[in-house]
Chain A
Amino acid sequence: MNRFGFFILFIIIIFSSKKLYSKNIKVCSTCEFKSLEMAIESSCNYDSIIVEKGIYKEFNIIISKPLTIFGKGTPTIDGNYRGEIFEITSENVTIEGFNIINVGESFKNDNAAIRIKNSKNVTIKNNFFENIFFGIYLEKSSFCKIYNNSVTGKATEELYSGNGIHLWHCKNILIENNIIKNVRDGIYLEFSNQCNVINNISQNNLRYGLHFMFSNDDTYRKNNFQNNGSGVAVMFSRNIEMLDNVFQENWGSASYGLLIKEINDSKITNNVFLKNTLGVNMEGSNRISFKGNDFIKNGWAIRVRGASYSNSIVKNNFINNTFDISYNGNINKNLLHKNYWSKYNGYDINKDGIGDLPHRPVSLFSYVVNKSPGAILLIRSLFALILDFSERAYPIFTPTYLIDNEPSINKSE
Chain B
Amino acid sequence: MIKILSYCFYDITRGYWISIYLSFYLFLGFGLLFLNNDISSAIITLMNIVIYLVPFISLIFGLTYYYSSREFTELLLVQPLKRKTIVLGQFLGVSICLSLSLVFGLSIPFFLVGAYNIENIFDLFVLIVLGCFLTFIFTSISYIISIMNDNKIRGLGYSILIWLFLSVIYDGFLMSFLIYFEQYPLEKISLAFVLLNPIDLARTLMILNLDISALLGYTGALYKIYFGTFNGIIVSSIILFIWLLAPVILMLRIFKKKDF
Do A and B make up one complex?
A: yes
Judging by beta carbons under 8 Å apart, are A378 and B175 in contact?
yes
* Contact digits for B37-79, partner A, Cβ 8 Å, 1 yes 0 no: 0000100100110001000000000000000000000000000
What total of A-B pairs shows CB separation below 8 Å? Answer: 85
Determine the chain B residues whose CB is within 8 A of the CB of A373 once the complex forms: 217-219
Quick check: B221 and A381 within 8 Å, CB to CB?
no
Min C-beta distance of B108 to chain A, whole Å: 25
Candidates A368, A376, A383, A385; contact of B217 at CB < 8 Å: A376
A38 in the interface, Cβ–Cβ < 8 Å?
no
Query: Using Cβ atoms and an 8 Å threshold, which residues of chain A touch B221?
Result: 253
The reply to whether B207 and A277 form a contact with Cβ atoms under 8 Å apart is no
Q: How far is the CA of A253 from the CA of B211 in the complex (A)?
A: 10
Interface centre among A373, A375, A384 (most CB of B within 10 A): A375
B204 & A377 in contact (Cβ 8 Å cutoff): yes
Task: Indicate if the CB atoms of B182 and A374 lie closer than 8 Å.
Answer: yes
Q: How many whole Å from B203's CB to the nearest CB in chain A?
A: 6
Q: Interface stretch among B137-145, B186-194, B240-248?
A: B186-194
Given contacts A253-B221, A322-B215, A377-B194, contact A382 B175 (CB under 8 A): no
> Which of A252, A371, A372, A384 has its CB near the most chain B CB atoms (within 10 A)?
A372
A-side interface residues, number (CB < 8 Å): 27
Q: How far is the CA of A280 from the CA of B220 in the complex (A)?
A: 21
Chain B contacts for A297, CB-based, 8 A: 41
Does any Cβ of B come within 8 Å of A231's Cβ?
no
Do the beta carbons of A375 and B211 come within 8 Å of each other? no
List A contacts of B95 (CB < 8 A): none
Pair A380/B207 contact, Cβ less than 8 Å = yes
Binds A, one of B4-12, B18-26, B147-155, B166-174: B166-174
The answer for the CA separation of A382 and B41 in the assembled complex, in Å, is 17
Partner of B52, one of A251, A255, A376, A382: A382
The reply on B110 being an interface residue by CB < 8 A is no
**A144 CA to B87 CA, complexed, in Å:** 83
Would you call B217 and A375 a contact (CB within 8 A)? no
Provide the main secondary structure of the chain B interface. helix
Contact between chains at B179 and A375 (CB < 8 Å): yes
What's the least CB distance linking A276 to chain B, in Å? Answer: 10
Q: How far is the CA of A371 from the CA of B204 in the complex (A)?
A: 21
* B-side interface size class: 20 to 34
Q: Which residues of A contact B215 (CB under 8 A)?
A: 277, 299, 322, 376, 379
Partner of A386 from B44, B48, B168, B207 at Cβ < 8 Å? B168
- Docked complex: A285-310 residues within 8 A CB-CB of B: 297, 299
Q: Are A378 and B48 in contact (CB under 8 A)?
A: no
Also in contact, A254 and B217, with CB within 8 A (given A371-B182, A380-B44): yes
* Residue pair A371, B190 in contact (C-beta under 8 Å): no
B234 at the interface (CB under 8 A from A): no
Contact A377 B190 (CB under 8 A): yes
Residues of A at under 8 Å CB distance from B? 251-255, 277, 297, 299, 320, 322, 368, 371-386
The 25 sampled A-B contact pairs (Cβ below 8 Å) are A252-B214, A253-B214, A253-B216, A253-B218, A254-B218, A299-B214, A299-B215, A322-B215, A372-B179, A372-B182, A373-B218, A374-B187, A375-B175, A375-B179, A376-B220, A377-B178, A377-B216, A378-B171, A379-B207, A379-B215, A380-B203, A381-B200, A382-B167, A383-B167, A383-B171
Q: Which residues of B contact A (CB under 8 A)?
A: 41, 44, 47-48, 52, 167-168, 171-172, 174-175, 178-179, 182, 186-187, 190, 194, 200, 203-204, 207, 211-212, 214-221, 223-224
A299-B215, A373-B218, A384-B171 known; 5 new pairs, CB 8 Å cut-off, are A251-B211, A382-B167, A382-B171, A383-B168, A385-B48
